[in-house]
Amino acid sequence: MTKYAKKYFGTDGVRGEVGRSPVTPTEVLQLGWAAGRVLGAGHARGRVIIGKDTRISGYLLESALEAGLSAAGVDIALTGPLPTPGIAHLTRQVGACAGVVISASHNPYHDNGIKFFSAEGRKLNDETENAIEVLMGQSMVTVGAEALGKAERLIDAVPRYAEHCRNTLPPSFRLDGLKIAVDCANGAAYQVAPLVLRELGAEVCCIGVEPDGFNINRGVGSTYPERISALVRETHADIGIAFDGDADRVVLADSSGSLVNGDGILFLLSQYLKKREGFGGVVGTLMTNLGVEIACKAGGIEFVRAKVGDRHVLEELVSRNWILGGETSGHILCLDRSTTGDGLVAALAVLEVIQTTQNPLSELVSGLTIYPQQLINVQLDEVMPGDIVNHPAVIDQVRASEQTLGDRGRVVLRPSGTEPVVRVMVEGVDAKLVDHHAKSIADVISTLTL
């Protein structure tokens, strides 16, 4: 069976530089119409929630999406800037047929994208994305004037999402006595994250809360974790929390400024939850540090790996009826609290552990050993990455490296699906040995011609 080659949808919606295909006003208008036709099917009069981050282009794309959805006969509710997981929550709460987020996540301001959620608040499956793409190639037909969609502003979107975040915690939970440093990346969480933390009683020191349309992710946020480390030290905070532009990922810093990424968060939460009845296990990805897998197994916790991407982590969790999974980048899924990766909800889950155990973040992650990891991106000359990783010379080198590393190391080759690049990742106990084998495999790949 031939897999459908998508033209518009990537690993997380439609994304690119604003003004260039596929992120042009004309194409986003068509996308809105096509999505309205597919996602609104079966609803007498569908309703779609549209949220966005703080990019200047959000106004442009919001208008184009609104027009396309209206032309398809779908009503629209606009939230303004709100974290991506907030749209997933509101979609379910108000009974909408879909949710749409205008964001390019951790990318700079000149990029933007469109992410979709189903009525259940989850990423679209391949079948639904394919159906939308088919309509993208057809002429747009507007419904009659009497059936056009109407737009309204959801003025209480921020307090609704804030309440949802607080409700993921025990009723009497408080953060009194904690000083928390927060970096909102000048993005979608700039209002709601400080609001929730202050309402819970924490003293909050913020950066990245002055968006101007252009400064999203610029030197701040989870992709610049040194900023949250510095803020923790400057303010003598107990913990630091850094989000990306749409706040679906989070990175933490302990009281000394030492960083805790998604791997550390997975370890911490799994150790806390392992005694809970029906907990199950943990889903990481191919890139999750070996130390997490070893620590889980040592603690009697089952650990499995999914392909890279929070969508694949979610699929694995759902198939196993588990609740905890995530990526090194800070996409953490707590399915007992949210339907999708949520940076703020994940941070609150960690804060719950800290307050309940009365242990600082540094102590809670002290049992995790992060193994040395080397990642090399090998550029190819017009060679299909998927072909070259199956070359006998590459297979032989990988096999030799795996034999040397043994069960305390691993090799992962990831061919890019969009460019002539092979990502070589080697992990193990000895940093010099890891570096040597990563370079050996990369050298074999770079010298091959098919």
Q: Is residue 105 annotated as a catalytic residue, yes or no?
A: yes
Report which residue type is found at 358.
Q
CB 214 within 8 A of CB 56: yes
Question: Which CA distances in Å does 339 have to 10, 89, 105, 248, 390?
Answer: 20, 8, 18, 12, 37
- The answer to whether 265 and 332 have CB atoms below 8 angstroms apart is yes
Of 70, 105, 118, 401, which residue is the catalytic one?
105
Cα separations (Å) of 59 from 3, 51, 105, 188? 35, 11, 16, 14
Handedness of CA 159, 210, 215, 64 (dihedral sign): positive
Q: How far is CA 395 from the centre of its chain?
A: 32
Q: Which residue has the tokens 């009194």?
A: 176
Locate 365 and state its tokens.
């992650």
**Maximum pairwise Cα distance, the chain:** 71
Both tokens of 276, joined, read 């809970």
Kindly report the backbone phi and psi dihedral angles of residue 353, in degrees, each rounded to the nearest multiple of 5, phi listed first.
-65, -45
Place of tokens 């809105």: 32
Q: Count how many Cα atoms sit within 13 Å of the Cα of residue 296 in the half-sphere of its side chain.
A: 27
The answer to whether 448 touches 406, Cβ cutoff 8 Å, is no
How many angstroms separate the CA atoms of 327 and 310, rounded?
7
Residue 55: which residues within 8 A CB-CB, separation 6 or more? 102, 103, 104, 109, 112, 213, 216, 245
89 in Cβ contact with 164 (< 8 Å):
yes
| 3 state DSSP class of 361 | helix
Judge whether 126 and 114 are in contact, CB under 8 Å: no
Q: Which candidate, 248, 222, 242, places its Cα nearest to that of 314?
A: 248
Tokens 């940093």, residue located: 431
Please give the positions annotated as active site: 105
